[in-house]
Protein backbone atom coordinates (compact mmCIF):
# COMPACT_ATOMS: atom_id res chain seq x y z
CA UNK A 1 0.00 0.00 0.00
CA UNK A 2 1.36 3.41 -0.99
CA UNK A 3 1.80 6.28 1.49
CA UNK A 4 -1.11 8.07 -0.22
CA UNK A 5 -3.37 5.04 0.20
CA UNK A 6 -2.34 4.68 3.83
CA UNK A 7 -3.14 8.34 4.47
CA UNK A 8 -6.53 7.96 2.77
CA UNK A 9 -7.32 4.90 4.89
CA UNK A 10 -6.27 6.74 8.08
CA UNK A 11 -8.38 9.79 7.12
CA UNK A 12 -11.40 7.53 6.47
CA UNK A 13 -11.06 6.01 9.96
CA UNK A 14 -10.83 9.48 11.56
CA UNK A 15 -13.86 10.71 9.57
CA UNK A 16 -15.88 7.66 10.64
CA UNK A 17 -14.93 8.15 14.30
CA UNK A 18 -15.71 11.89 14.07
CA UNK A 19 -19.20 11.22 12.72
CA UNK A 20 -19.91 8.37 15.16
CA UNK A 21 -18.98 10.53 18.19
CA UNK A 22 -20.51 13.94 17.40
CA UNK A 23 -17.19 15.44 16.30
CA UNK A 24 -14.96 13.94 18.98
CA UNK A 25 -11.98 11.77 18.07
CA UNK A 26 -9.51 9.94 20.32
CA UNK A 27 -5.94 8.81 19.77
CA UNK A 28 -3.62 11.48 18.42
CA UNK A 29 -6.57 13.90 18.20
CA UNK A 30 -7.81 13.43 21.79
CA UNK A 31 -8.85 16.87 23.05
CA UNK A 32 -7.95 18.62 19.78
CA UNK A 33 -10.74 20.65 18.15
CA UNK A 34 -11.35 18.86 14.86
CA UNK A 35 -13.50 19.62 11.83
CA UNK A 36 -14.11 17.97 8.49
CA UNK A 37 -13.30 20.16 5.48
CA UNK A 38 -15.09 19.25 2.25
CA UNK A 39 -13.41 20.52 -0.92
CA UNK A 40 -13.31 19.72 -4.62
CA UNK A 41 -10.04 18.41 -6.05
CA UNK A 42 -8.15 21.19 -7.84
CA UNK A 43 -7.30 18.88 -10.76
CA UNK A 44 -9.88 16.09 -10.55
CA UNK A 45 -12.94 18.02 -9.43
CA UNK A 46 -13.73 15.08 -7.14
CA UNK A 47 -15.11 15.64 -3.65
CA UNK A 48 -12.55 15.40 -0.89
CA UNK A 49 -12.92 15.35 2.90
CA UNK A 50 -10.06 16.13 5.25
CA UNK A 51 -10.10 16.01 9.05
CA UNK A 52 -8.27 19.09 10.31
CA UNK A 53 -7.43 20.68 13.63
CA UNK A 54 -9.01 24.09 13.85
CA UNK A 55 -8.98 27.23 15.93
CA UNK A 56 -12.10 29.26 16.62
CA UNK A 57 -10.98 32.86 17.12
CA UNK A 58 -12.54 36.25 16.43
CA UNK A 59 -15.85 34.53 15.60
CA UNK A 60 -14.27 32.55 12.75
CA UNK A 61 -12.92 29.07 12.20
CA UNK A 62 -9.30 28.74 11.04
CA UNK A 63 -7.44 25.73 9.66
CA UNK A 64 -3.72 25.28 9.08
CA UNK A 65 -1.83 23.78 6.16
CA UNK A 66 0.80 22.19 8.40
CA UNK A 67 0.60 18.82 6.64
CA UNK A 68 1.88 17.23 9.85
CA UNK A 69 5.20 19.07 9.56
CA UNK A 70 5.92 17.91 5.99
CA UNK A 71 7.71 20.27 3.63
CA UNK A 72 4.90 20.31 1.01
CA UNK A 73 1.57 22.06 1.35
CA UNK A 74 -1.32 19.61 1.86
CA UNK A 75 -3.57 18.79 -1.09
CA UNK A 76 -6.61 20.44 0.47
CA UNK A 77 -4.77 23.79 0.41
CA UNK A 78 -4.48 23.67 -3.39
CA UNK A 79 -8.14 22.68 -3.55
CA UNK A 80 -9.31 25.77 -1.63
CA UNK A 81 -7.09 27.99 -3.74
CA UNK A 82 -8.71 26.60 -6.90
CA UNK A 83 -12.25 26.75 -5.47
CA UNK A 84 -12.77 28.49 -2.12
CA UNK A 85 -16.37 27.26 -1.77
CA UNK A 86 -16.25 24.55 0.90
CA UNK A 87 -18.45 22.73 3.36
CA UNK A 88 -17.41 22.37 6.98
CA UNK A 89 -18.59 19.81 9.53
CA UNK A 90 -18.10 20.83 13.16
CA UNK A 91 -19.57 18.50 15.76
CA UNK A 92 -22.98 17.53 14.41
CA UNK A 93 -23.54 20.60 12.25
CA UNK A 94 -22.58 21.28 8.67
CA UNK A 95 -22.27 24.66 6.97
CA UNK A 96 -21.27 26.17 3.66
CA UNK A 97 -18.25 28.45 3.88
CA UNK A 98 -15.71 30.36 1.85
CA UNK A 99 -12.04 29.60 2.45
CA UNK A 100 -9.81 32.68 2.60
CA UNK A 101 -6.03 32.40 2.85
CA UNK A 102 -4.67 34.87 5.42
CA UNK A 103 -1.34 36.65 5.28
CA UNK A 104 0.76 39.20 7.08
CA UNK A 105 0.12 40.15 10.69
CA UNK A 106 -3.27 38.46 10.77
CA UNK A 107 -1.76 35.14 9.65
CA UNK A 108 1.06 35.47 12.18
CA UNK A 109 -1.27 36.31 15.08
CA UNK A 110 -3.63 33.41 14.41
CA UNK A 111 -0.86 30.87 13.85
CA UNK A 112 0.86 31.97 17.06
CA UNK A 113 -2.38 31.46 19.00
CA UNK A 114 -2.82 27.97 17.50
CA UNK A 115 0.79 27.11 18.42
CA UNK A 116 0.15 28.34 21.96
CA UNK A 117 -2.98 26.19 22.30
CA UNK A 118 -1.63 23.16 20.40
CA UNK A 119 2.18 23.01 20.83
CA UNK A 120 2.57 20.51 17.96
CA UNK A 121 1.96 23.45 15.60
CA UNK A 122 4.99 25.26 17.00
CA UNK A 123 7.14 22.23 16.16
CA UNK A 124 5.61 21.94 12.66
CA UNK A 125 6.66 25.52 11.96
CA UNK A 126 10.22 24.74 13.06
CA UNK A 127 10.38 21.60 10.89
CA UNK A 128 9.66 23.32 7.56
CA UNK A 129 11.17 26.10 5.51
CA UNK A 130 7.82 27.09 3.98
CA UNK A 131 5.26 29.38 5.56
CA UNK A 132 2.41 27.22 6.84
CA UNK A 133 -0.85 28.56 5.40
CA UNK A 134 -3.62 29.80 7.68
CA UNK A 135 -7.08 29.63 6.12
CA UNK A 136 -10.17 31.33 7.54
CA UNK A 137 -13.49 29.57 6.91
CA UNK A 138 -16.13 32.26 6.60
CA UNK A 139 -19.79 31.16 6.74
CA UNK A 140 -21.48 31.45 3.35
CA UNK A 141 -25.01 32.75 3.88
CA UNK A 142 -25.98 31.63 0.37
CA UNK A 143 -25.32 28.03 1.45
CA UNK A 144 -23.52 27.11 -1.77
CA UNK A 145 -20.46 25.32 -0.35
CA UNK A 146 -18.65 22.65 -2.34
Per-residue confidence band for 143, with pLDDT thresholds at 50, 70 and 90: low
Residue 81 has pLDDT above 80, yes or no: yes
For the cut 90, the answer to whether the pLDDT of residue 65 exceeds it is yes
Domain with 121 in it: what CATH number? 2.30.110.10
Q: Are 104 and 131 in contact (CB under 8 A)?
A: no
Residue 146 lies in a domain: no
Secondary structure class of 6 (helix, strand, coil):
helix
Of the pLDDT bands very low, low, confident and very high (cuts 50, 70, 90), residue 142 is confident
Q: For all residues of the chain together, what is the average pLDDT?
A: 93
Asked whether residue 130 is assigned to any structural domain, the reply reads yes
Is 0.85 surpassed by the pTM of this model? yes
* 66: containing domain: 3-139
Tell me the pLDDT tens digit for each residue of 22-56. 999 998 888 899 999 999 999 999 999 999 999 99
The answer to whether residue 28 sits within a structural domain is: yes
Mean per-residue pLDDT for 100-126?
96
Tally of domains within the chain? 1
Which stretches does DSSP call E strand in 32-144? 34-40, 47-57, 60-64, 85-90, 93-101, 134-139
Q: 67 in a domain, yes or no? A: yes
Q: Is the pLDDT of residue 98 over 90?
A: yes
Please compute the mean of the pLDDT values over residues 53-74 and round it to a whole number. Answer: 95
DSSP string, 98-128: EEEE--HHHHHHHHHHHHHHSTHHHHHHHH-
Residue 23 lies in a domain: yes
The three-class DSSP label of residue 41 is coil
**What is the Cα 59 distance to its own chain's centre?**
17
The answer as to whether 63 is a domain residue is yes
Amino acid sequence: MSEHEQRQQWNRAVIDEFRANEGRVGGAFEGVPLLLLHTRGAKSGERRINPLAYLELDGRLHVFGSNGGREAHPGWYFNVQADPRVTVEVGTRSMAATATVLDGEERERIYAEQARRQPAFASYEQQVSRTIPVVALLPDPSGTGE
